[in-house]
Amino acid sequence: MYSLKMFVRIALVVAASFARAGDPPAAAAATEALARGKYLVTVAGCNDCHTPWKLTPEGPKPDMDRMLSGHPEALVMPAAPAPEQPWQMTAAATNTAFSGPWGVSFTANLTPDRETGLGKWTVRNFTETIRTGRHLGRGREILPPMPIPMYKNFTDEDLAAIFTYLQSIPVVKNRVPEPRQPAALATAGR
Amino acid sequence: MPRAVLHGSLPLLLLAVVCAPVIARASGEAALPEHLRDTGLYADGSMSQLQPDVLSFSPQYPLWSDGATKRRWIKLPAGTSIDASRPDAWDFPRGTKLWKEFSHGGPVETRFIERAMDGSWRYASYVWSADGQDAVLAPAAGVRGLPVPSAPDGRYSIPAQDDCRACHEGAPVPVLGFSALQLSPERDGQAPHADGAHAGTDLRTLAARGLLVHLPKDLLASPPRIAAANPTERAALGYLHANCGHCHNDDGPLAVLEMSLAQRVGAKESAGSVLRSLVAVSGQFRMSGNTTRVAPGEPDASVLALRMRSRDPLQQMPPLGTSAVDLEAMALISRWIESLSLQPK
Protein backbone atom coordinates (compact mmCIF):
# COMPACT_ATOMS: atom_id res chain seq x y z
CA MET A 1 0.00 0.00 0.00
CA TYR A 2 1.29 3.47 -0.87
CA SER A 3 1.89 5.83 2.01
CA LEU A 4 0.20 9.25 1.99
CA LYS A 5 3.62 10.84 1.42
CA MET A 6 4.18 8.74 -1.66
CA PHE A 7 0.68 9.55 -2.95
CA VAL A 8 1.24 13.29 -2.57
CA ARG A 9 4.61 13.04 -4.34
CA ILE A 10 3.09 11.20 -7.27
CA ALA A 11 0.25 13.73 -7.46
CA LEU A 12 2.70 16.63 -7.52
CA VAL A 13 4.75 15.06 -10.29
CA VAL A 14 1.65 14.44 -12.38
CA ALA A 15 0.35 17.97 -11.78
CA ALA A 16 3.70 19.49 -12.73
CA SER A 17 3.88 17.51 -15.91
CA PHE A 18 0.39 18.74 -16.87
CA ALA A 19 1.35 22.32 -16.07
CA ARG A 20 4.50 22.10 -18.21
CA ALA A 21 2.65 20.48 -21.05
CA GLY A 22 -0.53 22.52 -20.72
CA ASP A 23 0.35 25.97 -21.90
CA PRO A 24 2.06 25.40 -25.24
CA PRO A 25 -0.66 23.11 -26.61
CA ALA A 26 -3.34 25.59 -25.48
CA ALA A 27 -1.54 28.41 -27.25
CA ALA A 28 -1.02 26.23 -30.30
CA ALA A 29 -4.70 25.33 -30.32
CA ALA A 30 -5.70 28.99 -30.18
CA THR A 31 -3.34 29.81 -33.03
CA GLU A 32 -4.68 26.91 -35.01
CA ALA A 33 -8.28 28.01 -34.42
CA LEU A 34 -7.42 31.53 -35.53
CA ALA A 35 -5.78 30.27 -38.72
CA ARG A 36 -8.59 27.86 -39.37
CA GLY A 37 -11.14 30.64 -38.84
CA LYS A 38 -9.32 32.96 -41.23
CA TYR A 39 -9.17 30.24 -43.82
CA LEU A 40 -12.87 29.46 -43.51
CA VAL A 41 -13.90 33.12 -43.63
CA THR A 42 -11.81 33.54 -46.77
CA VAL A 43 -12.98 30.53 -48.72
CA ALA A 44 -16.60 30.74 -47.57
CA GLY A 45 -16.80 34.13 -49.26
CA CYS A 46 -17.72 36.21 -46.21
CA ASN A 47 -15.89 39.22 -47.68
CA ASP A 48 -17.95 39.03 -50.84
CA CYS A 49 -20.94 40.56 -49.08
CA HIS A 50 -19.80 41.73 -45.64
CA THR A 51 -16.92 43.87 -46.95
CA PRO A 52 -18.11 46.83 -49.05
CA TRP A 53 -16.88 46.78 -52.61
CA LYS A 54 -15.07 49.70 -54.18
CA LEU A 55 -14.45 50.33 -57.82
CA THR A 56 -10.81 49.98 -58.87
CA PRO A 57 -9.11 50.14 -62.27
CA GLU A 58 -9.28 46.36 -62.20
CA GLY A 59 -12.98 46.38 -61.46
CA PRO A 60 -14.97 46.15 -58.21
CA LYS A 61 -13.11 44.68 -55.24
CA PRO A 62 -13.75 44.35 -51.51
CA ASP A 63 -12.44 47.42 -49.69
CA MET A 64 -10.27 45.73 -47.10
CA ASP A 65 -9.92 48.97 -45.13
CA ARG A 66 -13.54 48.30 -44.15
CA MET A 67 -13.10 44.55 -43.87
CA LEU A 68 -16.25 42.68 -42.82
CA SER A 69 -17.89 45.84 -41.47
CA GLY A 70 -21.15 45.30 -43.38
CA HIS A 71 -23.31 47.74 -45.25
CA PRO A 72 -21.92 51.27 -44.74
CA GLU A 73 -24.11 53.30 -42.40
CA ALA A 74 -23.60 56.43 -44.49
CA LEU A 75 -24.84 54.79 -47.67
CA VAL A 76 -28.61 55.28 -47.41
CA MET A 77 -30.22 53.19 -50.09
CA PRO A 78 -33.12 54.52 -52.13
CA ALA A 79 -35.96 52.17 -53.04
CA ALA A 80 -34.66 49.46 -55.36
CA PRO A 81 -35.86 49.30 -58.95
CA ALA A 82 -38.33 46.49 -59.53
CA PRO A 83 -36.50 43.86 -61.57
CA GLU A 84 -38.05 42.49 -64.72
CA GLN A 85 -38.50 38.72 -64.54
CA PRO A 86 -36.66 36.46 -64.66
CA TRP A 87 -34.37 38.95 -62.87
CA GLN A 88 -35.21 38.81 -59.21
CA MET A 89 -32.57 40.39 -57.01
CA THR A 90 -31.02 43.84 -57.08
CA ALA A 91 -27.67 44.46 -55.41
CA ALA A 92 -26.05 47.70 -54.28
CA ALA A 93 -22.76 48.70 -55.88
CA THR A 94 -21.11 47.89 -52.56
CA ASN A 95 -22.62 44.38 -52.69
CA THR A 96 -23.81 44.95 -49.12
CA ALA A 97 -27.53 45.62 -49.73
CA PHE A 98 -29.88 43.34 -51.60
CA SER A 99 -33.49 43.78 -52.65
CA GLY A 100 -35.69 40.81 -53.49
CA PRO A 101 -38.98 39.14 -52.61
CA TRP A 102 -37.89 39.09 -48.94
CA GLY A 103 -37.55 42.89 -48.79
CA VAL A 104 -34.20 44.64 -48.45
CA SER A 105 -31.38 43.04 -46.50
CA PHE A 106 -28.17 44.69 -45.37
CA THR A 107 -25.06 42.71 -44.51
CA ALA A 108 -24.05 42.77 -40.86
CA ASN A 109 -21.00 44.29 -39.23
CA LEU A 110 -18.94 41.25 -38.24
CA THR A 111 -16.09 43.20 -36.65
CA PRO A 112 -15.69 43.10 -32.85
CA ASP A 113 -17.06 46.60 -32.27
CA ARG A 114 -19.06 46.35 -29.04
CA GLU A 115 -21.90 48.65 -30.06
CA THR A 116 -22.37 47.98 -33.75
CA GLY A 117 -20.64 44.65 -34.37
CA LEU A 118 -20.15 41.31 -32.67
CA GLY A 119 -18.03 42.64 -29.79
CA LYS A 120 -20.46 41.57 -27.08
CA TRP A 121 -21.44 38.30 -28.69
CA THR A 122 -20.47 34.93 -27.32
CA VAL A 123 -19.56 31.92 -29.38
CA ARG A 124 -22.95 30.50 -28.41
CA ASN A 125 -24.68 33.57 -29.89
CA PHE A 126 -22.74 33.13 -33.13
CA THR A 127 -23.25 29.39 -33.39
CA GLU A 128 -26.97 29.59 -32.67
CA THR A 129 -27.40 32.37 -35.23
CA ILE A 130 -25.87 30.31 -38.01
CA ARG A 131 -27.43 27.05 -36.88
CA THR A 132 -31.00 28.37 -36.60
CA GLY A 133 -30.94 31.11 -39.22
CA ARG A 134 -32.33 33.50 -36.62
CA HIS A 135 -30.70 36.60 -35.21
CA LEU A 136 -28.95 35.57 -31.99
CA GLY A 137 -30.58 32.17 -32.39
CA ARG A 138 -34.06 33.34 -31.40
CA GLY A 139 -34.91 36.65 -33.09
CA ARG A 140 -35.92 37.54 -36.64
CA GLU A 141 -34.91 35.31 -39.52
CA ILE A 142 -31.62 35.99 -41.28
CA LEU A 143 -32.52 37.07 -44.81
CA PRO A 144 -31.18 36.08 -48.24
CA PRO A 145 -28.71 36.05 -49.79
CA MET A 146 -26.97 34.91 -46.58
CA PRO A 147 -26.43 31.21 -47.34
CA ILE A 148 -27.77 29.91 -44.03
CA PRO A 149 -29.00 26.62 -45.57
CA MET A 150 -25.37 25.85 -46.46
CA TYR A 151 -23.57 27.46 -43.54
CA LYS A 152 -25.73 25.75 -40.94
CA ASN A 153 -23.80 22.61 -41.87
CA PHE A 154 -20.55 23.96 -40.47
CA THR A 155 -19.38 21.93 -37.51
CA ASP A 156 -19.37 23.48 -34.06
CA GLU A 157 -15.57 23.53 -34.23
CA ASP A 158 -15.60 25.39 -37.54
CA LEU A 159 -18.07 27.96 -36.24
CA ALA A 160 -16.01 28.45 -33.10
CA ALA A 161 -12.90 28.96 -35.25
CA ILE A 162 -14.70 31.48 -37.46
CA PHE A 163 -15.90 33.35 -34.38
CA THR A 164 -12.39 33.34 -32.91
CA TYR A 165 -11.04 34.90 -36.08
CA LEU A 166 -13.83 37.48 -36.34
CA GLN A 167 -13.12 38.60 -32.78
CA SER A 168 -9.50 39.23 -33.78
CA ILE A 169 -9.99 41.50 -36.80
CA PRO A 170 -9.83 45.32 -36.69
CA VAL A 171 -12.79 47.06 -35.10
CA VAL A 172 -14.93 49.16 -37.42
CA LYS A 173 -17.71 51.22 -35.89
CA ASN A 174 -20.56 51.02 -38.40
CA ARG A 175 -24.22 50.73 -37.48
CA VAL A 176 -25.89 48.76 -40.24
CA PRO A 177 -29.54 49.68 -40.92
CA GLU A 178 -32.36 47.32 -40.03
CA PRO A 179 -33.77 45.27 -42.93
CA ARG A 180 -36.82 46.52 -44.78
CA GLN A 181 -39.92 44.47 -45.38
CA PRO A 182 -41.24 43.89 -48.92
CA ALA A 183 -42.98 46.93 -50.36
CA ALA A 184 -46.34 45.12 -50.61
CA LEU A 185 -46.34 44.34 -46.86
CA ALA A 186 -45.19 47.83 -45.97
CA THR A 187 -48.09 49.26 -47.98
CA ALA A 188 -50.49 46.96 -46.13
CA GLY A 189 -49.19 48.36 -42.85
CA ARG A 190 -47.95 45.06 -41.42
CA MET B 1 -63.43 17.23 -25.07
CA PRO B 2 -64.87 19.68 -27.60
CA ARG B 3 -64.79 18.69 -31.20
CA ALA B 4 -61.71 19.79 -33.04
CA VAL B 5 -61.99 22.48 -35.67
CA LEU B 6 -58.96 21.46 -37.69
CA HIS B 7 -60.11 20.94 -41.26
CA GLY B 8 -58.42 19.56 -44.30
CA SER B 9 -55.69 18.09 -42.15
CA LEU B 10 -55.64 14.54 -43.45
CA PRO B 11 -52.62 15.12 -45.69
CA LEU B 12 -50.80 16.71 -42.79
CA LEU B 13 -51.59 13.84 -40.48
CA LEU B 14 -50.46 11.34 -43.07
CA LEU B 15 -47.28 13.35 -43.52
CA ALA B 16 -46.77 13.45 -39.80
CA VAL B 17 -47.23 9.72 -39.48
CA VAL B 18 -44.87 8.97 -42.35
CA CYS B 19 -42.26 11.58 -41.50
CA ALA B 20 -42.67 11.76 -37.76
CA PRO B 21 -39.14 12.35 -36.66
CA VAL B 22 -37.30 10.85 -33.84
CA ILE B 23 -36.39 14.01 -32.00
CA ALA B 24 -35.08 12.55 -28.84
CA ARG B 25 -31.95 14.48 -28.01
CA ALA B 26 -30.59 12.27 -25.34
CA SER B 27 -28.59 9.32 -26.46
CA GLY B 28 -30.26 6.07 -25.57
CA GLU B 29 -33.57 7.79 -24.96
CA ALA B 30 -36.60 6.10 -26.49
CA ALA B 31 -38.16 7.81 -29.48
CA LEU B 32 -40.99 10.16 -28.71
CA PRO B 33 -44.41 8.51 -28.95
CA GLU B 34 -46.15 8.89 -32.29
CA HIS B 35 -49.45 9.63 -30.58
CA LEU B 36 -50.35 11.96 -27.73
CA ARG B 37 -52.32 9.17 -26.09
CA ASP B 38 -49.05 7.34 -25.47
CA THR B 39 -47.31 10.19 -23.63
CA GLY B 40 -48.95 9.48 -20.27
CA LEU B 41 -51.44 12.34 -20.17
CA TYR B 42 -54.69 10.44 -20.55
CA ALA B 43 -56.14 7.33 -18.99
CA ASP B 44 -55.93 4.25 -21.17
CA GLY B 45 -58.37 4.35 -24.06
CA SER B 46 -59.33 7.97 -23.47
CA MET B 47 -58.43 11.27 -25.11
CA SER B 48 -60.03 13.37 -22.41
CA GLN B 49 -59.82 11.66 -19.03
CA LEU B 50 -56.55 12.53 -17.33
CA GLN B 51 -54.29 10.11 -15.56
CA PRO B 52 -54.86 10.44 -11.80
CA ASP B 53 -51.32 11.70 -11.14
CA VAL B 54 -51.54 14.52 -13.69
CA LEU B 55 -51.85 18.00 -12.16
CA SER B 56 -53.62 20.89 -13.87
CA PHE B 57 -52.12 24.32 -13.38
CA SER B 58 -52.38 27.82 -14.70
CA PRO B 59 -49.69 30.55 -14.57
CA GLN B 60 -50.77 33.93 -13.28
CA TYR B 61 -49.19 35.66 -16.29
CA PRO B 62 -50.06 33.57 -19.38
CA LEU B 63 -48.17 33.64 -22.66
CA TRP B 64 -50.10 35.25 -25.52
CA SER B 65 -50.58 32.81 -28.39
CA ASP B 66 -52.90 34.62 -30.78
CA GLY B 67 -55.88 34.19 -28.50
CA ALA B 68 -55.69 30.41 -28.27
CA THR B 69 -57.38 28.94 -25.21
CA LYS B 70 -54.94 26.86 -23.21
CA ARG B 71 -54.91 24.07 -20.68
CA ARG B 72 -51.75 22.92 -18.94
CA TRP B 73 -50.68 19.87 -17.03
CA ILE B 74 -47.63 18.51 -15.26
CA LYS B 75 -46.74 15.02 -14.11
CA LEU B 76 -43.87 14.11 -11.82
CA PRO B 77 -42.57 10.57 -11.52
CA ALA B 78 -44.05 8.82 -8.49
CA GLY B 79 -42.25 9.65 -5.26
CA THR B 80 -40.28 12.56 -6.69
CA SER B 81 -40.40 16.28 -6.02
CA ILE B 82 -39.18 19.54 -7.51
CA ASP B 83 -36.15 21.06 -5.78
CA ALA B 84 -36.77 24.79 -5.37
CA SER B 85 -33.51 25.60 -3.58
CA ARG B 86 -32.78 28.00 -6.40
CA PRO B 87 -36.12 29.79 -6.39
CA ASP B 88 -35.79 31.06 -9.95
CA ALA B 89 -34.36 27.88 -11.45
CA TRP B 90 -36.29 24.93 -10.14
CA ASP B 91 -34.72 21.53 -10.60
CA PHE B 92 -37.34 19.19 -12.01
CA PRO B 93 -36.86 15.47 -11.50
CA ARG B 94 -35.88 13.35 -14.44
CA GLY B 95 -39.00 11.96 -16.05
CA THR B 96 -41.02 15.15 -15.48
CA LYS B 97 -43.61 15.72 -18.22
CA LEU B 98 -45.56 18.83 -19.10
CA TRP B 99 -48.29 19.40 -21.65
CA LYS B 100 -50.02 22.48 -23.02
CA GLU B 101 -53.12 22.23 -25.15
CA PHE B 102 -53.94 25.02 -27.62
CA SER B 103 -57.56 25.39 -28.70
CA HIS B 104 -59.44 27.55 -31.16
CA GLY B 105 -62.97 26.29 -30.58
CA GLY B 106 -61.50 22.82 -30.15
CA PRO B 107 -58.06 21.39 -29.58
CA VAL B 108 -55.61 22.08 -32.38
CA GLU B 109 -52.27 21.23 -30.87
CA THR B 110 -50.79 19.84 -27.66
CA ARG B 111 -47.16 20.64 -26.89
CA PHE B 112 -45.13 18.26 -24.78
CA ILE B 113 -41.90 18.70 -22.83
CA GLU B 114 -40.13 15.89 -21.06
CA ARG B 115 -36.99 15.76 -18.97
CA ALA B 116 -34.96 12.78 -20.10
CA MET B 117 -33.06 10.50 -17.77
CA ASP B 118 -29.75 12.18 -18.64
CA GLY B 119 -31.15 15.53 -17.51
CA SER B 120 -31.68 17.00 -20.99
CA TRP B 121 -35.07 18.19 -22.20
CA ARG B 122 -36.94 17.18 -25.31
CA TYR B 123 -39.81 18.84 -27.06
CA ALA B 124 -42.66 17.67 -29.25
CA SER B 125 -45.93 18.86 -30.66
CA TYR B 126 -49.00 16.76 -31.39
CA VAL B 127 -51.57 17.85 -33.99
CA TRP B 128 -55.19 17.00 -33.28
CA SER B 129 -57.38 15.29 -35.86
CA ALA B 130 -60.62 16.89 -36.96
CA ASP B 131 -62.75 14.46 -34.96
CA GLY B 132 -60.79 15.05 -31.74
CA GLN B 133 -60.02 11.36 -31.38
CA ASP B 134 -56.29 11.44 -32.03
CA ALA B 135 -53.28 13.73 -31.97
CA VAL B 136 -50.18 12.83 -33.97
CA LEU B 137 -46.54 13.84 -33.57
CA ALA B 138 -45.75 16.81 -35.83
CA PRO B 139 -42.68 16.97 -38.06
CA ALA B 140 -39.58 18.43 -36.42
CA ALA B 141 -39.64 21.29 -38.92
CA GLY B 142 -43.13 22.27 -37.74
CA VAL B 143 -46.05 23.11 -40.01
CA ARG B 144 -46.86 26.56 -41.31
CA GLY B 145 -50.37 27.76 -42.09
CA LEU B 146 -52.66 24.93 -41.06
CA PRO B 147 -56.24 25.80 -41.95
CA VAL B 148 -58.00 26.52 -38.65
CA PRO B 149 -61.06 28.71 -39.21
CA SER B 150 -61.17 30.16 -35.68
CA ALA B 151 -57.50 31.15 -35.64
CA PRO B 152 -56.40 34.64 -36.77
CA ASP B 153 -56.62 34.79 -40.58
CA GLY B 154 -57.87 31.18 -40.47
CA ARG B 155 -54.31 29.89 -40.21
CA TYR B 156 -52.37 28.19 -37.44
CA SER B 157 -48.70 27.28 -37.31
CA ILE B 158 -47.07 24.45 -35.41
CA PRO B 159 -43.62 25.48 -34.16
CA ALA B 160 -40.48 23.77 -35.36
CA GLN B 161 -38.44 21.90 -32.80
CA ASP B 162 -35.76 24.61 -33.11
CA ASP B 163 -38.43 27.19 -32.32
CA CYS B 164 -39.26 25.29 -29.12
CA ARG B 165 -35.62 25.45 -28.11
CA ALA B 166 -35.27 29.10 -29.11
CA CYS B 167 -37.76 30.15 -26.44
CA HIS B 168 -37.43 27.43 -23.82
CA GLU B 169 -33.66 27.23 -23.74
CA GLY B 170 -33.05 30.95 -23.34
CA ALA B 171 -34.17 30.75 -19.72
CA PRO B 172 -32.37 29.21 -16.72
CA VAL B 173 -34.86 26.31 -16.83
CA PRO B 174 -36.84 25.29 -19.92
CA VAL B 175 -40.10 25.05 -17.94
CA LEU B 176 -41.46 28.57 -18.28
CA GLY B 177 -44.96 28.71 -16.81
CA PHE B 178 -44.44 26.56 -13.73
CA SER B 179 -42.33 28.70 -11.43
CA ALA B 180 -42.42 30.55 -8.12
CA LEU B 181 -43.78 33.79 -9.55
CA GLN B 182 -46.21 32.09 -11.92
CA LEU B 183 -47.68 29.90 -9.18
CA SER B 184 -47.81 32.51 -6.46
CA PRO B 185 -50.99 32.20 -4.38
CA GLU B 186 -51.22 35.98 -4.56
CA ARG B 187 -52.43 36.38 -8.14
CA ASP B 188 -52.31 39.60 -10.11
CA GLY B 189 -55.93 40.61 -10.77
CA GLN B 190 -54.91 42.79 -13.72
CA ALA B 191 -52.88 40.18 -15.59
CA PRO B 192 -54.11 39.98 -19.21
CA HIS B 193 -55.76 36.71 -20.24
CA ALA B 194 -55.46 35.16 -16.78
CA ASP B 195 -57.77 32.23 -16.17
CA GLY B 196 -59.03 33.49 -12.85
CA ALA B 197 -59.10 30.04 -11.37
CA HIS B 198 -55.78 28.27 -11.03
CA ALA B 199 -56.78 24.68 -10.63
CA GLY B 200 -55.70 24.62 -7.00
CA THR B 201 -52.05 24.31 -7.94
CA ASP B 202 -49.86 26.93 -6.30
CA LEU B 203 -46.73 27.16 -4.18
CA ARG B 204 -48.51 26.33 -0.95
CA THR B 205 -50.49 23.35 -2.23
CA LEU B 206 -47.43 21.94 -3.97
CA ALA B 207 -45.31 22.33 -0.84
CA ALA B 208 -48.05 20.84 1.36
CA ARG B 209 -48.21 17.78 -0.89
CA GLY B 210 -44.45 17.36 -0.80
CA LEU B 211 -44.16 17.95 -4.54
CA LEU B 212 -42.09 21.10 -4.04
CA VAL B 213 -39.22 21.04 -1.58
CA HIS B 214 -36.56 23.44 -0.35
CA LEU B 215 -38.47 26.54 -1.42
CA PRO B 216 -37.15 29.40 0.73
CA LYS B 217 -39.59 29.76 3.63
CA ASP B 218 -40.12 33.47 3.12
CA LEU B 219 -41.66 32.74 -0.28
CA LEU B 220 -44.30 30.61 1.39
CA ALA B 221 -44.98 33.05 4.18
CA SER B 222 -45.04 36.05 1.87
CA PRO B 223 -45.95 34.93 -1.67
CA PRO B 224 -43.93 36.28 -4.59
CA ARG B 225 -45.25 39.51 -6.00
CA ILE B 226 -43.67 41.94 -8.43
CA ALA B 227 -42.55 45.01 -6.50
CA ALA B 228 -44.01 47.65 -8.81
CA ALA B 229 -44.96 51.28 -8.26
CA ASN B 230 -48.64 50.63 -8.93
CA PRO B 231 -51.03 47.89 -10.14
CA THR B 232 -50.67 48.87 -13.79
CA GLU B 233 -46.90 48.59 -13.60
CA ARG B 234 -47.17 45.28 -11.78
CA ALA B 235 -49.35 43.79 -14.52
CA ALA B 236 -47.19 45.27 -17.29
CA LEU B 237 -43.98 43.88 -15.82
CA GLY B 238 -45.69 40.54 -15.25
CA TYR B 239 -46.77 40.42 -18.88
CA LEU B 240 -43.26 41.25 -20.06
CA HIS B 241 -41.84 38.60 -17.75
CA ALA B 242 -44.08 35.87 -19.15
CA ASN B 243 -43.97 36.87 -22.80
CA CYS B 244 -40.43 38.18 -23.17
CA GLY B 245 -38.36 37.27 -20.10
CA HIS B 246 -37.53 33.72 -21.19
CA CYS B 247 -35.28 35.22 -23.89
CA HIS B 248 -34.64 38.69 -22.51
CA ASN B 249 -32.95 37.95 -19.21
CA ASP B 250 -29.55 38.62 -17.74
CA ASP B 251 -28.22 35.10 -17.52
CA GLY B 252 -29.17 33.56 -20.87
CA PRO B 253 -27.70 33.97 -24.35
CA LEU B 254 -29.41 37.33 -24.89
CA ALA B 255 -27.70 38.83 -21.86
CA VAL B 256 -25.46 40.49 -24.46
CA LEU B 257 -28.32 42.86 -25.21
CA GLU B 258 -28.19 44.14 -21.63
CA MET B 259 -31.97 44.23 -21.37
CA SER B 260 -33.70 42.00 -18.86
CA LEU B 261 -37.47 41.59 -18.68
CA ALA B 262 -37.38 38.57 -16.37
CA GLN B 263 -38.49 38.96 -12.76
CA ARG B 264 -36.53 37.05 -10.14
CA VAL B 265 -38.30 36.14 -6.91
CA GLY B 266 -34.94 35.50 -5.32
CA ALA B 267 -33.75 39.06 -6.01
CA LYS B 268 -35.43 41.83 -4.06
CA GLU B 269 -34.42 44.49 -6.55
CA SER B 270 -35.64 42.49 -9.54
CA ALA B 271 -38.34 44.91 -10.70
CA GLY B 272 -35.98 47.85 -10.33
CA SER B 273 -33.32 46.04 -12.31
CA VAL B 274 -35.79 45.41 -15.14
CA LEU B 275 -36.83 49.06 -15.17
CA ARG B 276 -33.22 50.24 -15.22
CA SER B 277 -32.57 48.20 -18.35
CA LEU B 278 -35.64 49.62 -20.09
CA VAL B 279 -36.74 53.09 -19.12
CA ALA B 280 -35.01 55.91 -20.99
CA VAL B 281 -32.37 53.45 -22.19
CA SER B 282 -31.27 53.48 -25.80
CA GLY B 283 -30.99 50.12 -27.54
CA GLN B 284 -29.38 49.00 -30.78
CA PHE B 285 -32.65 48.51 -32.66
CA ARG B 286 -33.92 51.57 -34.51
CA MET B 287 -37.60 51.77 -35.42
CA SER B 288 -39.39 54.76 -36.93
CA GLY B 289 -36.38 56.84 -35.94
CA ASN B 290 -36.57 55.76 -32.29
CA THR B 291 -34.01 53.81 -30.29
CA THR B 292 -35.28 54.36 -26.72
CA ARG B 293 -36.63 51.12 -25.33
CA VAL B 294 -39.25 52.76 -23.12
CA ALA B 295 -39.67 56.52 -23.41
CA PRO B 296 -41.65 57.68 -20.34
CA GLY B 297 -45.02 59.08 -21.38
CA GLU B 298 -44.50 58.21 -25.04
CA PRO B 299 -45.64 54.74 -26.12
CA ASP B 300 -45.35 55.76 -29.77
CA ALA B 301 -41.67 56.60 -29.29
CA SER B 302 -40.90 53.45 -27.29
CA VAL B 303 -39.27 50.69 -29.31
CA LEU B 304 -40.60 48.06 -26.91
CA ALA B 305 -44.19 49.06 -27.61
CA LEU B 306 -43.60 49.64 -31.32
CA ARG B 307 -42.17 46.17 -31.80
CA MET B 308 -44.91 44.52 -29.75
CA ARG B 309 -47.46 46.34 -31.90
CA SER B 310 -45.84 45.22 -35.16
CA ARG B 311 -46.40 41.98 -36.99
CA ASP B 312 -43.80 42.71 -39.65
CA PRO B 313 -41.70 39.57 -39.23
CA LEU B 314 -38.53 41.64 -39.39
CA GLN B 315 -39.54 43.79 -36.45
CA GLN B 316 -42.22 42.07 -34.42
CA MET B 317 -41.86 40.99 -30.83
CA PRO B 318 -42.08 38.27 -29.87
CA PRO B 319 -40.51 37.00 -33.09
CA LEU B 320 -42.03 33.54 -32.69
CA GLY B 321 -45.39 32.01 -31.92
CA THR B 322 -47.70 34.88 -32.77
CA SER B 323 -49.12 36.48 -35.88
CA ALA B 324 -51.74 38.68 -34.19
CA VAL B 325 -51.14 41.68 -31.96
CA ASP B 326 -52.30 41.26 -28.35
CA LEU B 327 -54.54 44.31 -28.17
CA GLU B 328 -55.40 43.90 -24.49
CA ALA B 329 -51.72 43.75 -23.61
CA MET B 330 -50.88 46.70 -25.85
CA ALA B 331 -53.48 48.79 -24.03
CA LEU B 332 -51.87 47.81 -20.72
CA ILE B 333 -48.33 48.52 -21.92
CA SER B 334 -49.38 51.89 -23.35
CA ARG B 335 -51.10 52.85 -20.07
CA TRP B 336 -47.99 51.89 -18.17
CA ILE B 337 -45.61 53.85 -20.42
CA GLU B 338 -47.89 56.87 -20.25
CA SER B 339 -47.95 56.62 -16.46
CA LEU B 340 -44.16 56.65 -16.24
CA SER B 341 -44.02 60.36 -16.99
CA LEU B 342 -46.10 60.96 -13.87
CA GLN B 343 -43.98 58.88 -11.53
CA PRO B 344 -41.47 60.62 -9.29
CA LYS B 345 -37.96 60.37 -10.65
The dihedrals phi and psi of B108, each to the nearest 5 degrees, come to -110, -40
Q: Name residue A132's amino acid.
A: T
Question: Could A136 and B256 be called an inter-chain contact, meaning their C-beta atoms sit closer than 8 Å?
Answer: yes
Distance (Å) from the C-alpha of residue B287 to the closest C-alpha of chain A? Answer: 8
Of B284, B310, B313, the CB nearest to A141: B313
Residues from chain B contacting residue A177 (CB–CB below 8 Å): 286
Residue A184 confidence class, pLDDT cut points 50, 70, 90: low
- Tally the residues of chain A: 190
**pLDDT reading at A160 higher than 50:** yes
Residue A23 has pLDDT above 70, yes or no: no
| B59 and B159 belong to one structural domain | yes
B6 in Cβ contact with B148 (< 8 Å): yes
Subunit contact B253:A122, Cβ cutoff 8 A: yes
Residues of B in contact with A71 (CB under 8 A): none
Question: Residue B22: its pLDDT value, please?
Answer: 36
Of A121, A136, A181, the CB nearest to B314: A181
Tens digit of pLDDT at every position of chain B (345 positions) = 333 334 444 444 443 433 444 334 444 568 999 999 999 999 999 999 999 999 999 999 999 999 999 999 999 999 999 999 999 999 999 999 999 999 999 999 999 999 999 999 999 999 999 999 999 999 999 999 999 999 999 999 999 988 999 999 999 999 999 999 999 999 999 999 998 666 689 999 999 999 999 999 999 999 999 999 999 999 999 999 999 999 999 999 999 999 999 999 999 899 999 999 999 999 989 898 899 999 999 999 999 999 999 999 999 999 999 999 999 999 999 999 999 987 665
Question: Is position B110 within any domain?
Answer: yes
Locate all alpha helices (DSSP H) within B245-292, ordered by sequence.
270-278
Q: What are phi and psi of A107, to 5 degrees?
A: -70, 145
The pLDDT value given to residue B144: 92
Whether chain B has a CB inside 8 Å of the CB on A114: the answer is no
A124 contacts B253? CB cut-off 8 A:
yes
Same domain? B264 vs B132:
no
CA B188 to chain centre: 17
Give me the pLDDT at residue B7, please.
41
Using CA atoms, how far apart are residues B278 and B259, in angstroms rounded to an integer? Answer: 7
pTM: 0.87
pLDDT > 90 in chain A, percent: 78
> Residue A13: is its pLDDT beyond 90?
no
Q: Which residue range forms the structural domain that includes residue B268?
A: 226-340
Same-domain check for residues B42 and B110: yes
- A-B C-beta contacts closer than 8 Å: 56
Considering only alpha carbons, which residue of chain A is nearest residue B246?
A: A138
Domain boundary among B168, B186, B209: B168
Better-scored residue on pLDDT, A48 or A184:
A48
Taking the Cβ of residue A76 and every Cβ of chain B, the question of whether any pair is shorter than 8 Å is answered with no
Is the pLDDT reported for residue A182 higher than 90? no
In a domain, B239, yes or no: yes
**Alpha-carbon distance B310 to nearest alpha carbon in chain A (angstroms):** 7
Residue B173 in any domain: the answer is no
Cβ-based contacts of B170 with chain A (< 8 Å): 138
Given a cut of 50, whether residue A3 has pLDDT beyond it is no
Q: In this predicted model, which residue has the larger pLDDT, A129 or A187? A: A129
Residue A29's pLDDT band (cuts 50, 70, 90): confident
Asked whether residue B57 is domain-assigned, the answer is: yes
On whether both B46 and B153 belong to a single domain, the answer is: yes
The answer to whether A40 contacts chain B (CB < 8 Å) is no
Residue B201 in any domain: the answer is: no
- Residue B25 falls within a domain, yes or no? yes
* CB-based contact B41:B57 (threshold 8 Å): no
ipTM of the predicted structure?
A: 0.83
Q: What's the domain count of chain B?
A: 2
